[in-house]
Amino acid sequence: MLELDASLVDWSRAQFALTAMYHWIFVPLTLGLGILVAIMETLYVKSGNEEWKRITKFWMTLFGINFAIGVATGIILEFEFGTNWSNYSWFVGDIFGAPLAIEGILAFFMESTFIAIMFFGWNKVSKKFHLLSTWLTAIGANLSALWILVANGWMQKPVGMVFNPETARMEMTNFWEVLFSPMAVHKFLHTTSSGFVLAAIFMIGISAWYILKGRNIVFARKSIVVAAVFGFVSIIYTIFSGDSSARDIAHHQPMKFAAFEGLYNGSEGAGLVALGFISQNQADPSNENLKDFAVKIEIPNILSYMAFLNWDAFVPGVNDLIRGNDKYGVLGAEEKIKRGTVAIEKLTAYKDAKKAGNTAATDSLKTEIMSKDFQNNYFKYFGYGYIADPHTLVPSIPLSFYSFHIMVVLGGYFLFFFLFALYFTLKGKIHKKRKFLHIAIWTIPLAYIASQAGWVLAEAGRQPWVIQDLMPTMAAVTKISTSAVQVTFWLFAVIFTTLLIAEIKIMMRQIKIGPKTEGGESHV
């Protein structure tokens, strides 16, 4: 078992979570606003209406402010893989580094090249080339997300690789399998479409503020129509891609699936907890993570269908996954730990034989380790060999459960929000619906809450794994002093908070100025 300072792991996780959550404040708005700006400029080029050009320029300015600050946090996030998670970077650098390198070379290059034309090329290049530059900038931003989410999807479900005992590293064998892994594809589609939803809500909320102030009414109405249509299509797709993602999780991360539904004991025809409140009482006295429900409303059979497209399918619960369930072929944690320990012992024996120069033993052990039987029955559970207590395999039930349900409930609300925004605007009633306009403004922070909740579920729900079943978080961390991580945690907290405050102030100032005419003056 691995001996490591638990506080070092906790602070390293906290620092990475801090950076990721701040970074994700900026990213979804960039993903969606870039597409919305491109759509609006397309309307300008097609119609020749200067009002669409003015609308495009205003939202483009907000896009640029958000984009610049998002890049800063993203760079720090990638550096932390080397500074705080060097064991992880060593173990899977050949695989994880590939999509990140492509993101830097291709996607970011595309963004940085065409964003200059997008902002400074007005009246210097043709309308169509400027439009192309805007679309390429928007596409480049989403391609950046693609490669990062491919890397993250691989961590959730490792595919297309083989373990090399000589280097003790994972090596990629099939790039296309990594790229088109269902887990990666669904994660990309769900994440980007949720960013589109957030950007649409942001645009509607800001436009609602203008209408309440009696300013830029035509600008605001046109913006709301485009954003509402775009947002409605996006939220529909977000819901469907989320359903596919949940099915992936049920198959490949059953503990996370059980955690976000608070399913302690598996059953056939398992019900979905539509609404529930977790008490401080423990469902299992031996495990502090297993909190009981004070009250819950459950819809029968829905969870079974969500997971396996079968109303009567068996869905394993937390206890099944820890203790095992022979009836349904669920392997228990103790057995996985034994098999993982065997995998680690074989690797250690191979390294010792190689060091001693025992060629026969080295060749024999390498053949055994690389055999299909060993890979499927032992190495598959390699990471469990580092686990001392099976109960640590259970993530925080309350955190997973509430994150999932907050995301789902808000997603349902957004669906109706876009419908009402579009209906009121097309009927010419939006300026009279002052309550709705106020709601629209307050929906902006709700969109950010839903977006953050999704990532909390994705990352906290898969603990203790940094790579599912192959590497626990405690084995991935860099062995540095805890105090060094603490210092940088608070340093980053101050820097990121300052950046966020600066962005909000700059955004608010630009919003108060409002869209400008070609002469440069704000049009009230």
pLDDT tens, position by position, 291-344? 677 788 888 899 999 999 999 999 999 999 999 999 999 999 999 999 999 999
pLDDT of residue 410: 96
Backbone angles phi and psi of 117, in degrees to 5: -65, -40
247 and 151 within one domain: yes
pLDDT of residue 523: 47
- Cα–Cα distance for residue pair 231/422, rounded to 1 Å: 10
Nearest to 59 by CA among 75, 73, 46, 44: 44
* Domain termination site, one of 303, 327, 351: 327
Q: Per the domain annotation, does 522 fall within a domain?
A: no
* Domain termination site, one of 327, 344, 365: 327
pLDDT of residue 277: 84
Q: Per the domain annotation, does 520 fall within a domain?
A: no
* Domain termination site, one of 391, 410, 431: 391
pLDDT of residue 524: 45
pTM given for the model: 0.90
Low-confidence ranges of the chain (pLDDT < 70): 1-4, 107-108, 280-291, 517-524
pLDDT tens, position by position, 467-496? 999 999 998 898 888 999 999 999 999 999
112 and 247 within one domain: yes
Q: Per the domain annotation, does 230 fall within a domain?
A: yes
pLDDT of residue 262: 87
181 and 39 within one domain: yes
Q: Per the domain annotation, does 1 fall within a domain?
A: no
270 and 142 within one domain: no
Provide the residue range defining the domain that includes 129: 6-253+395-513
Q: Per the domain annotation, does 473 fall within a domain?
A: yes
DSSP bridge pairs for 472: 465
Q: Based on the structure, what is the number of domains in the chain?
A: 3
- Cα–Cα distance for residue pair 462/155, rounded to 1 Å: 10
122 and 21 within one domain: yes
461 and 440 within one domain: yes
pLDDT of residue 236: 96
pLDDT of residue 491: 93
Q: Per the domain annotation, does 374 fall within a domain?
A: yes
294 and 308 within one domain: yes
pLDDT of residue 2: 52
Contact criterion met (CB below 8 Å) for 191 and 164? no
pLDDT of residue 291: 66
- Cα–Cα distance for residue pair 177/91, rounded to 1 Å: 19
194 and 154 within one domain: yes
346 and 309 within one domain: no
pLDDT of residue 97: 78
Nearest to 489 by CA among 161, 22, 74: 22
440 and 464 within one domain: yes
Q: Per the domain annotation, does 519 fall within a domain?
A: no
pLDDT of residue 287: 63
190 and 130 within one domain: yes
pLDDT of residue 280: 67
Q: For the chain, what's the residue count? A: 524
323 and 197 within one domain: no
List, in order, residues 6 or more apart from 480 with CB less than 8 Å away: 8, 84
Q: Return the ∠ at Cα 470 (arms to 467 and 476), rounded to 5°.
A: 60
Nearest to 270 by CA among 239, 307, 242, 240: 307
Q: Per the domain annotation, does 167 fall within a domain?
A: yes
pLDDT of residue 283: 62
